[in-house]
Structures are given as C-alpha cells and as structure tokens.
Amino acid sequence: MYTVAVTKDFIANHFLIGGDWGSENFPHAHHYVAEISIEAAELDKHGYLVDIVEIEAALDSIVDDFRDSMLNEKPEFAGLNPSIEHFSRIICERMLDTIKPPGAGSLNVKLWENATCWAAYKKAF
C-alpha cells in the first residue's frame, strides 16, 4: 500500500450542545490540525496516488470555509453536536467530493483539537 499525507492548521469556533460539558458549552476557539492521508495500492500514470498539490488545494478550500467561523452555524452541522468526530467525517466527505484517487483505497482524516486530543474518520473509495 502507498500512503500520501498533507496537514493544515486553522482556527475555528464552536460550542457543544446536548449535555453538560462545562466551559465547552460556551463559544470558544480551537487551533485544529487536519491530517489527510490517502492509502491505496494503485498509482496514477505519473506515479502518484494523488498529486500533493491537488490534495493541498482541496484541503485549503475546505479549511478556508471553516477558518474563523462558528461551526454551529455551518449547514454541515445542522442538527449535530459540532464534535471533532463529526467534523473529521465532514472534512473527509468533502475531500472525496473534490479529489479522485485511482483504484480502490481509503481516505483518512485525523483532526487534532489540541496537542493531545484527536478524532479520525476513514472512508473507502
């Protein structure tokens, strides 16, 4: 299996709903780091899983949409608690809407909320 990965950091705001999580129930910011990794056995005609420049452009576009925003107000989070679990899935699905790796494999998004906490979502393609 081949793997290619890109990371991007950004700041976004949210507040948790549906439970008593103390200060997390009030609007606050996180310095997120999104790690995107693509894994597959097949390369394209240029010897790439996906060109890193293409991955960076897709991730930049997604991050730009969330950067400095209130996640609770984004349509993707309608009816959802804006947890890092949901957020990692949303980023993963948007990445796969944008890039088209050759063959079969998986795209994994690991979303760091701080230096010690992360959640991930993996989707096969």
36 DSSP assignment: E
User: What DSSP element (H or E) covers 3?
Assistant: strand 2-14
Q: What is this structure's pTM?
A: 0.95
103 DSSP assignment: S
**CA-based nearest residue to 58, from 86, 87, 36:** 36
Three-state secondary structure call for residue 40: strand
Write down the H helix ranges in 1-125.
52-66, 84-98
Which contacts (CB < 8 Å, 24+ apart) does range 18-22 have?
18/81, 19/81
Beta-bridged to residue 111, according to DSSP, are: 34, 119
**CA-based nearest residue to 66, from 90, 50, 43:** 90
Write down the H helix ranges in 11-104.
52-66, 84-98
Per-residue model confidence as pLDDT tens for the chain (125 residues):
999 999 999 999 999 999 999 999 999 999 999 999 999 999 999 999 999 999 999 999 999 999 999 999 999 999 999 999 999 999 999 999 999 898 899 999 999 999 999 999 999 99
